[in-house]
Amino acid sequence: MKTLLVSIGFLAVTALSVFAAEPAKMVDTKMGKVLATDKGMTLYVFDKDGKGKSNCDAACLKKWPAFHADAKAKAEGEWSLVKAADGKDMWAYSGKPLYTYSGDKKAGDMTGDGVGGVWHVAK
Please state whether the predicted TM-score (pTM) of the whole model is above 0.95.
no
pLDDT average, residue stretch 33-51 = 97
pLDDT in tens, 47-99: 999 999 999 999 999 999 999 999 999 999 999 999 999 999 999 999 999 99
CA 85 to chain centre: 16
Q: How far apart are CA 93 and CA 96, in angstroms?
A: 5
pLDDT value at position 62? Answer: 97
pLDDT at position 45 over 80 = yes
